[in-house]
Chain A
């Protein structure tokens, strides 16, 4: 069974631009979560989608948004990029059964904002 895939793996943008990251979950998984990983703040939860609905959201500004499609694939978008948005963005998928469910992580997208 294929794992979680994320595209692109690396991305370089400039301040003010916007970016879209993509995540394809493991087949059969209906939940996709996104996390931001930085050296200073560590791993922080962005949002979670289950069956095309946002089920939970972290403490990030409205510039960060996401969506999930009917095939469970998910995208996240960051508008008006800032230098501080440089990070590794990780996507995780699960069956969506809640707190005890195992989440499987993709390799991440490394975003660099210049």
Chain B
């Protein structure tokens, strides 16, 4: 069965510091992976997705993620945090078969301090 694990339910960084949010996946086949962000009282917004093309995926708002098969990881990074990055971030994997179903991790809440 497909699954993702997000390490760290809360991450705090200073403005300007590196952001690193961790995601590990479990999949019996090459996975399709996604990172979504959720701001308070809003839905989910796609940051980026990996669909077996380039292993380094660039997304919106300066975020990027690297697919590492040997480590079964898909960590999200941003070189320099901004106050507006404070939100909850979800890693997700597509389920198998002809379906749109996403299986989400438990989320990581990012706090950015001035």
Contact = CB atoms under 8 A, between A and B. Distances in A.
A50 B51 CA distance: 21
B98 A98 contact: yes
Contact of A43 (B41, B51, B90, B95): B90
B17 interface: no
B28 interface: no
Interface stretch (A62-70, A76-84, A101-109): A101-109
A94 interface: yes
A96 to B, nearest CB: 7
Give the secondary structure class of B's interface. Answer: loop
A110 B83 CA distance: 26
Interface residues of B, number: 25
Contact of A105 (B44, B49, B97): B44
Interface of B: 32, 36, 41-46, 49, 51, 90, 94-107
Contact of A101 (B95, B100, B107): B100
Contacts of B102: 33, 35, 43, 45, 103
Given A42-B106, A100-B51, A100-B94, A31 B100 contact: yes
Contacts, number: 71
A45 B103 contact: yes
Contacts of A4: 43
Interface residues on A, range: 20 to 34
B84 to A, nearest CB: 18
Interface of A: 4, 31, 33, 35, 42-43, 45, 48, 50, 55-56, 58, 90, 92, 94, 96, 98-108
Contacts of A92: 44, 100
Contacts of A96: 100
A58 B94 CA distance: 14
Nearest to A4: B43
A106 B42 CA distance: 8
B89 to A, nearest CB: 12
